[in-house]
Amino acid sequence: MDVMVLTISIPPEAEAKLQQRAAEAGEELQSYVARLVAQFAGPPTPLDDISGPIYQRFLESGMTDDELADVLERAKHEMRAERRGRRQAP
Amino acid sequence: MTSPPTRTPVVFDCNVFAQALINPRGPAGRCLLLAQQGRVRLFLSDFILNELRELPAKLPVKLGVTLDRVEALIVDLAKYAEPVAKVPSLFTYARDPDDALYVSLALVSGAMLVVSRDLDLLDLMNDANEEGRTLRARFPQFRVLTPPAFLTMVTVE
A21-54 residue pLDDT tens: 999 999 999 999 988 888 888 899 999 999 999 9
DSSP-assigned states of every residue in A16-42 = HHHHHHHHHTT--HHHHHHHHHHHHTS
B66-104 residue pLDDT tens: 999 999 999 999 999 999 999 999 999 999 999 999 999
The pLDDT of residue B1: 57
| Among A64, A57, A66, residue whose Cα is nearest residue B148 | A66
CA angle, residues B140, B20, B41, in degrees to nearest 5: 40
Amino acid letter for position B151:
L
Chain B touched by A81 (CB under 8 Å) = no
Interface of A with B in 15-54 (CB under 8 A): 40-45, 47-48, 50-54
Tell me how far CA of residue B26 lies from CA of A16, A35, B8, B121, B123, in angstroms: 41, 33, 20, 21, 23
ipTM of the complex: 0.93
Domain boundaries, chain B: 8-156
Amino acid letter for position B125:
M
Mean pLDDT for all residues in chain B: 95
How far off is chain A from B55, nearest CA to CA, in Å?
Answer: 7
Of A43, A50, A54, the CB nearest to B63: A54
Contact B32, A47 (CB under 8 A): yes
Contact B59 A42 (CB under 8 A): no
Q: How far, in Å, CA of B27 to CA of A22, rounded?
A: 39
Q: Longest C-alpha distance within chain A, in Å?
A: 60
Q: How many residues does chain B have?
A: 157
Of B15, B23, B63, the CB nearest to A73: B15
B26-55 residue pLDDT tens: 999 999 999 999 999 999 999 999 999 999
Chain B residues with beta carbon closer than 8 angstroms to that of A67 = none
Domain boundaries B8-156, corresponding CATH code: 3.40.50.1010
Contact A58 B63 (CB under 8 A): yes
Q: Regarding predicted confidence, which is higher, B12 or A7?
A: B12
What integer is the mean pLDDT of B123-151?
97
